[in-house]
Structure 1
Amino acid sequence: MNIKHQTAVWLNRITVMLLTLFISTQLHADDLWEVVRNEQGIEISLSKVSGSNYKMFRGEAMISAQAETIMAMLTHPDSCSLWRYKCKTFISLGDSYHLMINDLPWPLSDRFVITRNILTDEFTLQITHVPLSELPPEQTNNLPDHDEHDGMIEMDEYSGFWKVEQLNSDEVNVIFQMQANPAGSIPAAVINNGVVNNPFNSLLSLRKHVATLSNVN
């Protein structure tokens, strides 16, 4: 094993350790969270973020499924538009980088964001925002034609995680936590609704979609 390869291996290990520590810290900050919606077995909480005008959201739900099934849904690009709230397009750019386009109602402009999605363990997907200007050349070459995202606004922040825990042979607990900044000029009322609607509708649709798959099988 050469020095360059050894360095890359250790950097990857350190990255995973730091991401795991971040997730652990966020999961145990219960005293900072305010429950704002709790219905249909889905609980949505908000937390203030130091230095930001936008609150972090966390959605938690029980779903009848196997953890592997949920993770397949979370990591498969083609499934995003089927259940993810406002997800219009989700494209893999290679090496765990992804482009997501969110469909916003007129007269608002659609938003796009680039993230790097990494499995920190078998059932935890860490999502880290990557500004377009910092995207590696190889992934930049995989972006759609410029005309396809002309007029859209790049989000300033979109970082968080999905965590899936198998509770028993038939049920999992799913946590979706995110800090997002849509950028641009969006009315506060729209943003506040989105912060609650995003995790609630995403988890509700995920549950329904998984149930549909189970019925087909």
Structure 2
Amino acid sequence: MLSPQMEILMLKRLKQPAWIVLVSTMLIANTVHAATQEKLSINKNGIKVWTYQVENNPIMRYRAETIVNTTLENAVGLILDTEKGKKWIPYVSDLSVIERNDTIGKFIVYMRLDFPFPLSDRDLVVEGKLSKLSDGRIVFKNKSIVDARVPVKANIVRIQQYEGDWVFQKLAAQQVKVSTSGFADPAGAIPLSFVNNFVQQQPYQMLQRMKQQVKQSHYSSNDIPEVLR
């Protein structure tokens, strides 16, 4: 494992495109109200991204949204498909289910992020809770947890602070509003200036890739948990 000083030194040599995808999947969100005013950082290709900070935390948070031309079931099914996730979520080298209960809408997954040299890889254990609101919206609430079944591995930095939400709202038979908001502390020696600079790029890249991937997917109500039907 590289020393913190070496990671910081080498990070300065990375080009921008690598950093855009570097923090993908790791910074998926919570819905805590901002202590500072939101800024519309990106508004293009039908995707909007707002960034903001909360008190006593220097790491930026974001919320983002877009409209996807597909069914509600197809959009939700794509997010729940862990095997497919390894193909479209940048730098995810392992995304495996530890526990899943479709009756109550709960899951625990392990995720490993294969970062480019010279960064150390990151990993985390995520607990998710799925629910369907009275207005038909489907909500995923995720957070990092400690799980004895997944011990910390050598040469991988374990992400301890992570919270995230996804919200899916059906607008028409073939139209879904997808919203995500997020925060995570990537830990280790990633300079704050780099993280905050690309927090606004990460959700844009994520939603853009999702919109492309969903065109190749064909999930139905049979592919989503009972609690969401």
| Superposed pair shares fold, TM > 0.5 | yes
How far is 1:105 from its partner?
Answer: 1.9
Q: Does 1:49 find its partner at 2:54? A: yes
Which TM-score applies when normalising by structure 2?
A: 0.71
Q: In structure 1, what is the equivalent of residue 170 of structure 2?
A: 166
- Aligned with 1:107 (options 107, 110, 118): 118
Show the counterpart of 2:226.
none
> 2:196 maps to what in 1?
192
| Alpha-carbon distance in structure 2 between the residues aligned to 1:166 and 1:104 | 35
Aligned to 1:7: none
Given the alignment, which residue of 110, 117, 128 partners 2:128? 117
Check whether the contact 2:36–2:54 (CA below 8 A) recurs between aligned residues.
Answer: no
Normalized per residue, which structure has more helix? Answer: 1
Identify the residue that residue 77 of structure 1 maps to in structure 2.
82
Listed as ranges, the gaps of 5+ residues in structure 1 are 1-21
Q: Does 1:175 align with 2:145?
A: no
- Structure 1: how far apart are the matches of 2:58 and 2:84? 31
CA distance in 1, matches of 2:114, 2:174: 33
User: 2:64 & 2:35 partners in 1: Cα distance?
Assistant: 13
The structural deviation recorded for 1:196 is 2.1
CA gap of 1:155–1:179, structure 2 versus 1, over 3 A, is same
Secondary structure of the residue aligned to 1:167 is strand
Q: Structure 1 residues 31, 171: CA separation in 2 closer, same or farther (over 3 Å shift)?
A: farther
Structure 2 counterparts to residues 1-217 of structure 1, below 5 A: 23=31, 26=33, 32-95=37-100, 96-121=107-132, 123-130=138-145, 132=146, 135=147, 137=148, 140=149, 143=150, 149-213=153-217
Distance 2:64 2:91 in 1: 16
Alpha-carbon distance in 2 for matches of 1:30, 1:169: 37
Q: Is the 8 A contact 1:46 1:56 kept in 2?
A: yes
Same amino acid, percent of matched pairs: 21
- 3-state SS of the aligned residue for 1:32? coil
Q: Which runs of 5+ in 2 are unaligned?
A: 1-29, 101-106, 219-229
Cα separation, 1, equivalents of 2:175 and 2:143 = 28
Name the structure 2 match of 1:19: none
How big is the shift at 1:31?
8.0
Q: Conserved in 2, the CA contact under 8 Å of 1:117 and 1:128?
A: yes
- Paired residue type of 2:88: W
- Give the aligned CA root-mean-square deviation in angstroms: 2.3
